[in-house]
Chains A and B, each alone.
Chain A
């Protein structure tokens, strides 16, 4: 919707389409110069950190899964990692492999949804996934089939396709049999082929966006495209453990958002998510994913947010390939979980949600009662970066008509795949020109 009034020019979108959640954007332009860009996340705070206090140390995997219907596994995995760190328990072997397998299911379904129904329409000139499906039904069918394969993998390991019920601190309530996992392998083999085709499809999209020179931050672990463990590294030399995060990254409140803004204490805004992971871990991709990336012309120096659609597609290939490897080598563990006896202490844990780093910290009483909880989701970390990129975009396109400016800004935001429900919530776009 566009409004014009004497002395000022206001452009407004009541709700940004094709993002996870709802919110608003406001742009002030004075004498042709951009004064301010705000990503306004206005939905009420959700108080998860507050109502985790007083709960048992066994409860966060189930409680925090409810933060998001797209990436509940990420919350479960980070919660387990943090609580197990507090209780000085290490989960490894087949249980760690099963966690990664469950996580790959979530990556596949989340990325397939974003690629096909949220992001691809921007490149092909459609209002949305439904309009695109009329002209590209095979691609959308393929995307939905991939999403279903991801959801079914989550259900196989996690008990159901969203908000899995089978995860517990220390492992699982029940582990799948070798036969159950083997029976799923043909689905993943088909998904792998589909995912390779998706890389070829999206690599042909025109990505005119400039490279943004952000500090890229992601987990890294030797020999793995890190998802469930590792140290946090960056393109500017950051290299820290989970319990050091608050020494390097701070969250601040801003008046225009119910989500906190995270920034590196010494260097400011940074970027987490697919572009960061690929830049820092491309050497650890499974062979089919590395080959698909090479064929797509994707290099580790890729910084254009729009190209993240190709990175997501490559990550789906990797997820399918590594999931197949896990299934191939799976031996049922002796027990579905290792004991996690409570102890007084603080534990920090992190994993790579589909949208980037997700950090949890818990302070426990001796009986396991949670005294404090802190959660830093990926979109809160990327929000300042998105604002900076929007400012840059609007500055360089300030002469565009309102509708085109709005469309470009929306597309830029979608490239980051923000999950506003996780960060808190989201988009109403206002541009004021005076």
Chain B
């Protein structure tokens, strides 16, 4: 049976703050163990499609760099994904490619939310910066709130 809510942390936890999305997803899983299925992925489009297939709500949490202050969290809507992550190489398909491919194949979740954690330290190593640590906690709280809304709707 398809899960109602999935939380997908995307990133590489060996590259500093690039692991913020994965750490945030783990926090959500720890707080809502029975309500969500948590995935940790590298952003490869086919695996993203598999992870969110059939879900009522899918939340993708990823590290981003947009020029905003480090640690801030931005909710990215579907319209933005139309042009996001266009890569010449299959090595860098990303969420934008997954979204467009999923739409073409009818394999999008009922609702897709992307939370971007602004980061600036992506050196080698597993250390998260203070700003990213704050940001991922905010992203996790936002994801928890979204999942709880879905859960509440399911009980009514």
Contacts and interface: CB of A to CB of B under 8 A. Distances in A.
Interface of A: 15-22, 69-70, 113, 117-118, 129-130, 133-134, 137, 140-141, 144, 147-148, 151, 161-162, 420-421, 426-427
Q: What are the 4 closest A-B residue pairs judged by CB atoms, nearest first?
A: A15-B88, A133-B104, A134-B104, A130-B100
Given A137-B104, A137-B105, A148-B50, A421 B88 contact: no
Interface string B59-90: 00000000000000000000000000000111
B113 interface: no
B104 A19 contact: no
A113 B105 contact: no
A22 B101 contact: no
A17 B88 contact: yes
B90 A118 contact: yes
B89 A148 contact: no
B91 A144 contact: no
Nearest to A141: B105
Contact of B90 (A20, A133, A134, A140): A20
Given A69-B91, A137-B106, A140-B105, A147 B46 contact: yes
Interface residue SS majority, chain B: helix
Contacts, number: 56
B104 A140 contact: yes
A19 B91 CA distance: 8
Contacts of B101: 129-130, 133, 140
B105 A21 contact: no
A18 B90 contact: yes
B88 to A, nearest CB: 4
A134 B103 CA distance: 9
A63 to B, nearest CB: 13
A29 B27 CA distance: 59
B91 A130 contact: no
Given A130-B104, A134-B104, A141-B105, A19 B46 contact: no
8 contacts: A18-B88, A22-B89, A69-B42, A69-B44, A70-B91, A140-B104, A144-B49, A162-B42
A398 to B, nearest CB: 26
Given A144-B49, A421-B91, 15 more contacts: A15-B89, A16-B88, A19-B89, A20-B91, A21-B89, A70-B91, A117-B90, A130-B97, A130-B101, A133-B104, A137-B104, A140-B101, A140-B105, A144-B46, A427-B88
A295 B106 CA distance: 32
Nearest to B106: A137
Contacts of B50: 148
A20 B46 contact: no
Which of B46, B50, B90, B91 has the largest count of A CB atoms less than 10 A from its CB?
Answer: B90
A143 to B, nearest CB: 9
Which of A134, A144, A151, A421 has the largest count of B CB atoms less than 10 A from its CB?
Answer: A144
Contacts of B106: 137
A134 B47 CA distance: 19
A243 to B, nearest CB: 33
A16 B88 CA distance: 6
A113 B90 contact: yes
B105 A133 contact: yes
Interface string B102-127: 00111000000000000000000000
A132 to B, nearest CB: 8
B142 to A, nearest CB: 29
Contacts of B100: 130
A137 B101 CA distance: 10
Contacts of B49: 144
Contacts of A421: 91
Contacts of A113: 46, 90
Contacts of B104: 130, 133-134, 137, 140
A427 B88 CA distance: 9
Contact of A19 (B42, B44, B90, B105): B90
B49 to A, nearest CB: 7
A17 B50 CA distance: 24
